[in-house]
Amino acid sequence: MNDIVAYNNKNIVLHELIGLRVKVIDCLDGKQIGAKGTVIDETKNTLLVDTSTGLIKLIKRACTFEFYSNGHAFKVKGKEINFRPGERTEKGMKYYKLRNV
């Protein structure tokens, strides 16, 4: 499903994240830095990630993520995606406008 969407550095904050590979590159909880896996669920404030050691819940606002799609990596601050998935297109527009292509 995600292969159909053409993710780029600008629109990543507006699109579906479930199914994407993700890595935590910075976090207030230092134990979560370096965690990586596949996003399997999302709420307004969290990402549920399937890792090689099991499921982990990541607080969006506390982390900076690197999402991977089609061989490309996109750095995203948690505050840029801290919305309900269904509201991301509307509420995430201010971050979309600030990001570089």
Tens digits of per-residue pLDDT, 68-97?
Answer: 999 999 999 999 999 999 898 888 899 999
Residue 3 lies in a domain: no
Residue ranges making up the domain that contains 19: 11-98
- Contacts for 45-54: CB closer than 8 Å, 24+ residues apart: 45/82, 47/17, 47/22, 49/22
Number of domains in the chain: 1
Position 1 scores a pLDDT of: 47
Give the domain CATH number at 34.
2.30.30.210
Residue 6 lies in a domain: no
Tens digits of per-residue pLDDT, 7-18?
Answer: 999 999 999 999
Position 6 scores a pLDDT of: 85
Residue 50 lies in a domain: yes
